[in-house]
Every structure is written in structure tokens, then in C-alpha cells.
Structure 1
Amino acid sequence: MDQDVFFTREPVVNKQRAITATRLRVHAPDCAAAVAALESIGDDWPLARPVFVGLAGCRPDATLADWIAPEGAMLEVAAPSLSDPVTAAAVSQLAQSGLPLVLSDYKAGTEIPAGLAFRFVMADARVQPVTIRVPGILIATGIDEPAAFDAAIKAGYGGAAGWFFKAGQTTAKKLAPAHAQIVRVLNLVRRNADPKQIEDAMKQDVALSFKLLRYINSAGFGLMCQVQSFRHAVVILGYEKLNKWLSLLLVTAGKDPSAPALMQAAIARGRLMEVLGAEFFPREEHDNLFITGAFSLLDRLLGAPMDKVLEEMSLPDRISDALLGQDGAYTPFLKLARACEDASADALSELTHALGLSADAVNRAQLSALKFADTLEF
């Protein structure tokens, strides 16, 4: 990776698998570059939940004092780095300024400089027993699948950081009836069916109409007036925009315990693709970019294989190709959205440069997408 600064992220979830924070890794050659990248985010910074900001590739030093941390930001400090006097002094200075701290890579016996307090302490659940006394809420790392998460919580951890919930199994051979109904409505919209026909289909499940209107009237949509009915939505939005927001009904239909976390990840992917693809595709394809990202976790959300889900849907080839891992116009953007969820920034850097994008544009789009996903009520 070159000297560009890239952000990657993972969620922090509580015992119920609800997202309570975002763990943001800043891959930077030095603290000055990290601060510059963080400052460039501006109003795109997500404020709905705390953000643990950790440095990858460098250690905290006095330069971090130049960072005007947004509301909810916390500095993540690796426990081994506190043995470095320069790091310890910088962290102490930041703590005295009021910046909340998170301790990561904690192991029993680690010496903590006097005067430092931590809101959260992160430890590898595979090797670190929970019987240790820690100076904060204990969060598990190293979790790679749902069963390991359940074991960590049973052992006494207060939550976990990571994408373990994406590793669940898809066991159903076809869509559940409730999901199939949403797909039927989506297909009608794709075919520009008569509004009354679509409305009649939606009336078969009152919850669909309620959720659709809630999404459309959410802050993320930004309408100047409140949409009161499905027919009103057709008039105000048109079929293309309506298709995008109906797609959210399918994304948010999952009943898995991890569904809210999966939904946020899926919608953030969709928004990221929509924002970054805007300069590459005509306006009429922007909603398709969003749908591609939003549907990229449908197999996990609906508990059925992706190819079986897509068999039931009338989607453009560009969307289907990307979702099935085939080459296509949208595929590089979906790969980039997924790379934002990696621990390493290597793939993200490669994809960013291949598309001719800047690291700053991708970083801002990623956090803007996360902020957008937070505006929707799942």
C-alpha cells in the first residue's frame, strides 16, 4: 500500500447483536497523515453511535493533539504500544483533554500507565479468559462466526467487534412466504404495473405499506413533504425511485438475531456504491448501484442461497452479475464496498486506484454511507 490514508471498519455489537459502535481503522504512514484524513471527513462523520478510532501502520504521538475529535469519537489504543514512552505521553495528554479512550489487544498482566481510564477494553476471546479484571467494559475480538460469539457472551464478554455475523449459514431452499410477497411487489414495480395493482399487492401485508412509508419519510430520503400513501409515493417519486425504497423492505425483512447489523452493513454498501458510482454511470443507474450493494447480503438476511433469491426477481443483468460474483460494470464497486470491511486496507487501496478514485473520496463516501444507514429505522 502506498502513502494514501484509507479507512476500514467493523461494527461493535452488544450481547443482543445490536450495533452499539463502529470500530474505524485508519491506515496511515504517520499520525499527521491520519489527522489530516480524519479532519477531511467534516459533516460526513457518523454521529449516531460512538466511533472507536484506531491507528494502523503508526502509533499515537503528540500530533494527535491537533485532531478536533467529532462528538462520539473515541481513541483506540493498543495495549502493547503503551510501553513506548512517547505513545504513553501522547495518550495521557489526549485523555486529559477529554477524549475518551478504548484499550485494544489487552492481555492479563498488561501494565496501564497511572491516570488512564478506558470506556471499553478489547481482548481476543480465543486466548483471553474473561476472569481477568479489566478497566472497562470487556469486548471480544477474534470472533469469526456466530457460535463463537455466543460462547464469548456466555463466558462473560459484554459484546464483540467484528463481522462474525456474515458467516452464518443459508439453509432454506426457497424464499419464505413473507419475503416472496415483497419480491412479487418489487417485480410489479420493475414492470411499471398499474399503481392500483401494486397497491392491492401491498395490502396483502399491511406491515409492508407501513415500513415503506416510514423509510420514504425518513431523514435519509430528504423529501420536503410527507408521503401519505402508496399512490402519493408513485406521484412524488416515480417508479425508479420507488423501486429503490421498496428494495429496502426486502433488505430489512430478515428475522435472524444479527439482522439489524446485517441490514446496516447492506445499506451502507448500497449507499457507498451509489455515491462513488455517480460519476461513472448515468443518473438512471444510480438507484441500481444502491440496490446492488443493499442486496449483497440478501442470502444471509433471507437465509437462502443468492442464486435462489435472484431466480425469483426481475433484476437487470448488471445487478445479478455483481451479486453472483461475475464480471460486470457494477462488480468492481461492490468489491470496493466489501473491501471497506477488511482488517487490511490492501484490497481497498488496489480497487480504489484501479477505478481512478482518490483515497479521500472513498473515505468520505464510506462514512457518509454509514451515516445514511443510521438514519433508517430497522
Structure 2
Amino acid sequence: MSHEKVVDGVPLGRPPGCPFDPPAALSELRDEAPVVRMKFPDGHLGWLVTGYPEVRAVAADQRFSNRYELSHFPLPGMEHVEQLPPAPVGDLTGIDAPEHTRFRKLLTGKFTVRRMRLLSDRVAEVAAEHLDAMEAAGPGVDLVEAYAHPVPAVMICELLGVPYADRESFQANSAAISDVDLPETDRMNAYGALQEYVGELVLTKRASPTDDLLSDLTGSDLTDEELAGLGTFLLAAGLDTTANMIALGTYALLSHPAQLAVVRDDPAAAGGAVEELMRYLSIAHTGVRAALEDVEVGGEVIRAGESVVVSVLGANRDPRRFPRPDELDVRRDAVGHVAFGHGVHQCLGQQLARVEMTVALPELLRRFPGLRVDGEVVLRSELQNIYGVRRLPVAW
């Protein structure tokens, strides 16, 4: 039984030269005991869940809370914090029903599949503008700065009604919020600055509404504080995750030329390729929940008050669900992956992210068929909530 074994923290350390693969110890652990006791960095004795069906079970069960203040932080770096603070106002990932339900209902209709697909042409225009700029500048650019960040930045700004001219400030603050290399006070200051910026924007929208999401929401029952918090959350989330998927997805395809050729040459393959890249890369790799009562998962009883780490990376590489899981196969049917989460907290903006990636990746590869890595790739730390690329130098 797995309760006889205690893992000392989430396994970290990707195989040398294999930045896309999970730590070997994580895969071994999943195959041996998909639900196992784990000692958290602060000493708390909780659980690590790595198997696909077990991760889905935890994510779908509302007897597990998403509230930050009920959980222990699963990764090194926060050992000194006795208790995590509650989620900032508007942070959908750190709250439960009924608060979560109230916010979610206001937003669900704004992010439907149909509405997001209508944005495809605009994404193509934005992608083309930045590809033109890359071509004019000539070979030798950082793809993160030149393409992966700007495309989702323009789209989330237009959707929310945020002036793109202000991007340097809010992009810097958005990046700082999750940068584990920065002191905690700097990260908190960045969040405060971003929230203050959106708060001022909300007041402007109330006075003079325009055709955008923030203006639409001024007609709801949200207070200024709630609307500013929600806007901050959507702005930060809409930038960071998709930008890292475009950059890391490109890097993965450049490392697998046969798979790249499929995405470049077969327009019908783009949608499936995005699902497979989401599964294969699992950039939002690790989450945590707190049991509100005793719950059985995978034959183990998790007691009320215990924190549970859910390894999205482990689940999406589970051979019980995905044959040959460590192979990147863009023609694979990867539907059912948990890269966007599962249950009531499944990513609200997943359809927007899908549209952005389905357009941006093939357009890049078709414009520059000779695209190649041209220098040292700088990856993000595994300790960050979102794995990805800091710098991806490319030429063509």
C-alpha cells in the first residue's frame, strides 16, 4: 500500500537534454503508486496524485477545496510561510462555490467555443503583422519577444478593452507575479501595480463604456474591486499561459522535425496538434487541493484537512490513458487531456487559447519553413506555476 511509503516532495529535475519530459522519478512513482503519501516542503504530511484517473477524480470532486489558505504549498520556496493568504479578489483558481460560481456564470457566455472561433480571422491578422515585422528585421530574433508574447497580448487586450499601448508595463508586472527568482515582496508589488492599473481602467469603463468585456461587466453586480480583480486575473492568465505554449510548442516542434512538417503542411492537423502539444508539454504542471472531508481516491483515504498535490504532468503522460505517452505524435487523439484542468475549475479561457495556438503555430511554420533554433534556449524554472521558455533565439 502506498501509505507505507512517503515521498519527500514533488519529484523535480527533468532528464538532461530532455526539457519536455517529466522527471524520471515522477513517472516511476505514477506507475508504482498513483496516490502516495508526500511530505510537503513545510513539513505537512499530505498526498501526491500522479495517475490520470486519480487526478481527474480529485479535480472533479468538490469535497476538495481550491482555496489557497486551506492548502500547503507543494513546491520549494515557501517553507517559511505558515499559512498561504486567501486568493486575491477575482482570482478564480483560488476560490470555491458559491463565490466561484457567481464569477464563473458572469464569464462563461463570453468565452464560448462559437465566440472564440469568430476571433480566428483577427488572430491571423495579428500573427501576420508580427511575422511581417520578424521578416523585415531579418533572421536572428527571440521568438518569445517577437511573436509568442505579442500575439496573445494583443488578443487579450482587445477582448478586455485594455490599451495595448500600455503593454510594456502590464506585461512586465504579469511576468513578475509568477517569477520565483524574484523576492516575494517584488511579486506582491507587481500584482498590486497590475491591479491598480486595471482598477483605474474599470473606472474609465464605467464612465465611458466601449465594446469590450470589461465594459460589458460594468453592467453586472460586480463592485469596482471585484471587477478590477477579475480583470487583473484574466489579463495575467491570458498572457502568460498561451505565450508559453506558443514558445514551448514551437521549441518542441523544432526538436521533432517530422511532427513539425505535419503541422506546417496539413491545415487539417492543426487542431489535433494543439491538443497533443497541450498534453505533451503540460505547462501548468502542478496543482494543489485541500480535503474538506475524508475522501477515498485510488484506494487511499485522504483525511479532512490534508493537502493533495495533483500532477497534471504525470496524468497526461499516464500510459493507462495515452499509449506511448512520452512520444510527441500530433496525429494522436489527445482529447481528454487535463492540461486545461478538469471539473468546475477547468480553464475558462481554453477556447481562446486553442484558437490562438491553432492559428499562430502553423502560420509561423509556413512563413518560415527553414525556422531553426539559433542560440541558447533559456527555460523557465520548474518551480514556476507555468513551465515554458524565457528566451528562444531563432533564425531562418
TM-score by length of 2: 0.32
TM-score by length of 1: 0.34
Q: Which protein has the larger Cα radius of gyration, Structure 1 or Structure 2?
A: 1
